[in-house]
C-alpha cells in the first residue's frame, strides 16, 4: 500500500449499494488514498449536499464518484446539478455503472463526466478505480506535499 498526503482532500461517493461502497473504499485503500469520504446513498441526498456547499454550509468535495443508477434522483441529475454549482462546478467526477453501453457512456461525457468507470467483476480490475482516482486528484490538485 502506498501512503501520501492527499488526506486533506474529501471525496463524495454517491452510491446506494453498501457492497460497492465497500469495494470503493477497498480500492482507495489499496491505492493508499486515505481521503475523507462522504457517502450519499441516493441522488436527492447528494443534491441537497451540493445545495449546502453552494450555501456555504459545507466544504466543497474535491472529487465525486457517482453511480448512474441511484434512487430518487439518478446519477445524471446529480452530475447536471454539480456542473451548475458556482462553488464546485468544475470538480472532477467519475461516473460508475455496472453496464457499459455506448449510449450511457456518451451521455455521461456529454453531461460533463471526467471519467467513466464500468464496475468490473474481478477484484484486480475493481482495484484500478483507486489508481484512476489518484491520477485525477494529482492532475487537479498536484502531488500534495
Partner 1 sequence: MTQASDWENPTLASEQYKIGDLLSRLWEAEETIRAIYAGEADAVVVNSPSGPRVYTLEGADHPFRVMVEQMHEGTVTLDPNRLVLYSNPQFAALIGAASESVAGSDFDRFLAPADATLFAGLIEAAVAGGHSSGELHLCDANDATIPVRLSVTLLDVAGMQNLCVIASDLREQRRNEAILKEERLSRLILEQAAEAIVVIDPQGVIVRRSESANLLARKPVLMELFDTAFPLTAAGIRLDTDRILAAMRAGEKITGVEAQMARPEGETFALLLSASPLSSDGNELVGLVITLTDITERKRAEEALATQADQLARSNSDLQQFAYSASHDLREPLRQLAVFTELLQTRYQDKLAAEAGLLIEHAVNSAHRMEGLIKDLLAYTQAADAPQGPTACTDANEIWRKTIATFETKITQSGARVDCDPLPVLAVHEVHLTQLFQNLIGNALKYRSQEPPRIHISAERNTSAERNEGLWKITVADNGIGIDPAYKNQVFGIFQRLHGGGRYSGSGIGLAICQKIVQRYGGRIWVESELGRGSRFMFTLPEKKNEAR
Residue among 59 and 125 whose Cβ is closer to partner 1: 125
Residue owning grid cell 451548475: 84
d(CA 65, CA 133): 9
Confirm if 145 and 42 have CB atoms less than 8 A apart.
no
Q: CB 99 → partner 1: shortest distance, Å?
A: 6
Q: CB 119 → partner 1: shortest distance, Å?
A: 6
Contacts with partner 1: how many residues (CB under 8 A)? 14
Here's the x/- map for partner 1, 1-20, by CB under 8 A: it reads as ----------------x-xx
- Lateral strand order in the sheet of 63-67: 36-40, 10-14, 63-67, 93-97, 115-118
Q: CB 83 → partner 1: shortest distance, Å?
A: 24
Q: How many CB atoms lie within 10 A of CB 50?
A: 25
- Positions touching partner 1 (CB under 8 A) are 17, 19-20, 23, 26, 98-99, 101, 119-123, 126
Amino acid at each position: 500500500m502506498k501512503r501520501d498526503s492527499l488526506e486533506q482532500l474529501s471525496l463524495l461517493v454517491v452510491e446506494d449499494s453498501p457492497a460497492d461502497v465497500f469495494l470503493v473504499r477497498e480500492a482507495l485503500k489499496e491505492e493508499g488514498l486515505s481521503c475523507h469520504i462522504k457517502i450519499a446513498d441516493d441522488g436527492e441526498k447528494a443534491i441537497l449536499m451540493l445545495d449546502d456547499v453552494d450555501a456555504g454550509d459545507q466544504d466543497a468535495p474535491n472529487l465525486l464518484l457517482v453511480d448512474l443508477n441511484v434512487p430518487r434522483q439518478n446519477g445524471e441529475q446529480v452530475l447536471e446539478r454539480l456542473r451548475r454549482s458556482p462553488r464546485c462546478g468544475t470538480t472532477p467526477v467519475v461516473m460508475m455503472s455496472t453496464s457499459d453501453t455506448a449510449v450511457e457512456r456518451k451521455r455521461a461525457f456529454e453531461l460533463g463526466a471526467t471519467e467513466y468507470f464500468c464496475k468490473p467483476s474481478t477484484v484486480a480490475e475493481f482495484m484500478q478505480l483507486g489508481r484512476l482516482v489518484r491520477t485525477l486528484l494529482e492532475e487537479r490538485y498536484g502531488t500534495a506535499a
